[in-house]
Structure 1
Amino acid sequence: MPDPLVEVRDLAKTFAVRSGRRTGRLRALDGVSFDLRRGETLGLVGESGCGKSTLARTLLMLDRPDSGTVRFGGTDPFTLSGKELLDWRRRVQMVFQDPYDSLNARMTAGEIIAEPWRTHRGMYRTSRERAARVRELLELVGLRPGDADRYPQEFSGGQRQRLGIARALALDPDVVVCDEPVSALDLSVQAQVLNLLAELQQELGVSYVFISHDLSVVRHVADRVVVMYLGRIVESGTTEEVFNRPRHPYTAALMSAAPSLDRDGKPVRIVLDGEIPSPLNPPSGCRFRTRCWKATEVCAAEAPPLRLDGGGHGAECHHPLVADPEASAGVPAARA
């Protein structure tokens, strides 16, 4: 396996949260570790509030972790300053969820794409070079060079997201964080944008961190998948392993709830009882135990170890599922 492009180890991040007269500490990330390789797509899934967005903001250096390390090509960006930090920032860019709010309506498409070069002045020094590169980027994402003079409100939703992708690629990044990049688009347009991202990855060798609630999208685009729950990674592995042989009960429940056109072949729906615990006061031991049908006394007393198989597929669980999660005793199942 090639060396990782990004190495995240034991990342922790907390926020002070005030509720009435009381102030608590919300642990958004708690010991998160993973690798991202060049040209790879890492899918990041989990319910709202699990820490996906905080992790993305930390990778972009918008939030500084309380502890743990992020190494990019062997360098910790949080130790950089001045020109070294500026040079590093161009290497990680973002495609936002909403193509309507993420683009400045007062700027033309060409101005939006060229705006990052106002900060990174050394990339294209003359207006002619910048104009030529804008046209190249527009063509790269499937737009016309003449679209450089149009405003965002003159584009459709799918075209706006293509424009957002062009802006993210303007600085030749190594990593692009895609935060729900197709959730605001129609299904037919979603497929076009996802295919575009795949083509750009093959052509440019860029790596993606792909955040999504839509498991079918993640299954289509990701090489590996990370499943988060209350600030921790509870399962990780290749897309095939995680989707076809989930080992953590939470992962199995997510997979069973995903829509499927194959109704006859769809597994038994796993229905979880109870609400997601508050991240201000997570359960002791295993954080998923209050909703898990396999929980025992040890789940409350001890944090679960990371159990890895021979291929690197791992889950934090005292009672990992067998190959067929429906075969586990006492599964709370109901036909969808």
Structure 2
Amino acid sequence: MQMSEQLLEVRGLRKSFRVGKNRLTALDGIDLDLARGETLGLVGESGCGKSTLARTLMMLERPDAGSVTFDGIDPFSLRGKELLKFRRRVQMVFQDPYASLNSRMTAGDIISEPWRTHKTLYPNRKDRELRMRGLLDMVGLGAKAADKYPQEFSGGQRQRIGIARALALDPDVIICDEPVSALDLSVQAQVLNLLNDLQQELKISYLFISHDLSVVRHVADRVTVMYLGRMIESGRTEDVYRSPAHPYTAALMSAAPKLDAADRGDRILLSGEVPSPLNPPSGCRFRTRCWQATEICATHEPAAHDDSGHVAECHHPLQPAVPVSA
């Protein structure tokens, strides 16, 4: 099959869970695209659905509705060997480098473990050993680290082992779930630079999930903002950061710490509490905290407005925008 430039396409993705007698809608009509070699940043408050989206794209959850197309393939239609072969193509780097590594296994065993399932990738023991040591070199640890245990490494070094494990199956996409949030600032920069270097070398695509807006701005080509299961704004990173169109995005940007006092501007303070996802507000889900809300915000869901690829779901966008045609 011919490789497409657009690697991942998600349309109308929905996922809900039963909570007691109620249904919690974690994803409500998610659309996103990820190109080959691109980094898409995903930001939003806790509980907005970021982790559920990651789990669904990893095929750990099956969506209730919508479609996922990966390089022209619907992964949820695959079975048997074809499904096993596909699973190599999407891997994950986890948030906690302490909890995500087995303390009873050496670094070399951790990196080699995926090949026990995907036996055809490196069937020869010598090839596996060479590849494992090559991956340790690639992430900056060196082959001598192969015989050490996770507790002998620092947090940043452990995360490098996690990255090497994700690379072991030669994936096309790596989902990075808060990969630097547990690390010191200086170590964060080292890991982010490593991810960037690997992307340049291997042409990997990243879905980069983070609460840290400064980190997302540093690594992402495009950014998407989530709120209560909806993607409410997306666009090129600099466009979204320079001129946020959705009031919620503007509030997030104003809350981000800035070193330069001249860049800080006025802080936007939101009133009220985050609504429960079990009972989200009618119309626009952000309206109960929005200073621009009007009657239409309570009665109608906002349509997506597109301003040259900068998309926002808002009745009263902060920037000029053109409605998306049906």
The alignment status of 1:313 with 2:315, answered yes or no, reads no
Partner of 2:312, secondary structure, is strand
Match of 1:82 among 73, 80, 83: 80
Residue in structure 2 matched with residue 251 of structure 1 by the alignment? 249
Q: Deviations over 1:31-62 (max 9, x none)?
A: 00010000000000000000000000000000
Give the whole-Å Cα distance in 2 for the aligned partners of 1:267 and 1:47: 22
Partner of 1:286, secondary structure, is coil
The alignment status of 1:16 with 2:13, answered yes or no, reads no
Give the whole-Å Cα distance in 1 for the aligned partners of 2:219 and 2:118: 31
Provide the TM-score with structure 2 as the length reference. 0.96
Partner of 1:210, secondary structure, is strand
Give the whole-Å Cα distance in 2 for the aligned partners of 1:296 and 1:200: 47
Give the whole-Å Cα distance in 2 for the aligned partners of 1:322 and 1:154: 51
Give the whole-Å Cα distance in 1 for the aligned partners of 2:104 and 2:278: 41
Runs of 4+ more than 6 Å apart: none
- Structure 1 unaligned regions, length at least 5: 324-336
Which amino acid is the alignment partner of residue 314 of structure 2? C
Q: Deviations over 1:170-208 (max 9, x none)?
A: 000000000000000000000000000000000000000
Tell me how far 1:289 sits from its aligned partner: 0.3
Give the whole-Å Cα distance in 1 for the aligned partners of 2:314 and 2:262: 30
The alignment status of 1:153 with 2:151, answered yes or no, reads yes
The alignment status of 1:187 with 2:189, answered yes or no, reads no
Give the whole-Å Cα distance in 2 for the aligned partners of 1:263 and 1:56: 36
Partner of 2:180, secondary structure, is coil
Q: Deviations over 1:1-34 (max 9, x none)?
A: x73100000000000012xxxx110000000001
The alignment status of 1:6 with 2:8, answered yes or no, reads yes
| 1:112-151 correspondence to structure 2 within 5 Å | 112-151=110-149
Give the whole-Å Cα distance in 2 for the aligned partners of 1:269 and 1:187: 24
Which amino acid is the alignment partner of residue 194 of structure 1? L
Partner of 1:130, secondary structure, is helix
Which amino acid is the alignment partner of residue 93 of structure 2? V
Which amino acid is the alignment partner of residue 222 of structure 2? R
Partner of 1:226, secondary structure, is strand
Give the whole-Å Cα distance in 2 for the aligned partners of 1:281 and 1:16: 13
Which amino acid is the alignment partner of residue 7 of structure 1? E
Tell me how far 1:91 sits from its aligned partner: 0.2
Residue in structure 1 matched with residue 323 of structure 2 by the alignment? none
Tell me how far 1:144 sits from its aligned partner: 1.1
Residue in structure 1 matched with residue 71 of structure 2 by the alignment? 73
Give the whole-Å Cα distance in 2 for the aligned partners of 1:196 and 1:263: 30
Which amino acid is the alignment partner of residue 132 of structure 1? L
Tell me how far 1:125 sits from its aligned partner: 1.1
Residue in structure 1 matched with residue 23 of structure 2 by the alignment? 25
Partner of 1:129, secondary structure, is helix
Tell me how far 1:278 sits from its aligned partner: 0.5
Give the whole-Å Cα distance in 2 for the aligned partners of 1:40 and 1:265: 28
Give the whole-Å Cα distance in 2 for the aligned partners of 1:208 and 1:29: 20
Give the whole-Å Cα distance in 2 for the aligned partners of 1:14 and 1:256: 31
Q: Deviations over 1:106-136 (max 9, x none)?
A: 0001100000000000011121111100110
Which amino acid is the alignment partner of residue 310 of structure 2? H
Residue in structure 1 matched with residue 171 of structure 2 by the alignment? 173
Residue in structure 2 matched with residue 332 of structure 1 by the alignment? none
Which amino acid is the alignment partner of residue 55 of structure 1? L
Partner of 2:97, secondary structure, is coil
Partner of 2:161, secondary structure, is helix
Residue in structure 2 matched with residue 291 of structure 1 by the alignment? 289
Give the whole-Å Cα distance in 1 for the aligned partners of 2:59 and 2:102: 23
Tell me how far 1:164 sits from its aligned partner: 0.3
Partner of 1:293, secondary structure, is coil
Tell me how far 1:67 sits from its aligned partner: 0.2
Residue in structure 2 matched with residue 326 of structure 1 by the alignment? none
Tell me how far 1:264 sits from its aligned partner: 2.5
- Alpha-carbon RMSD across the aligned residues, in angstroms, is 0.8
Partner of 2:95, secondary structure, is coil
- Structure 2 unaligned regions, length at least 5: 321-326
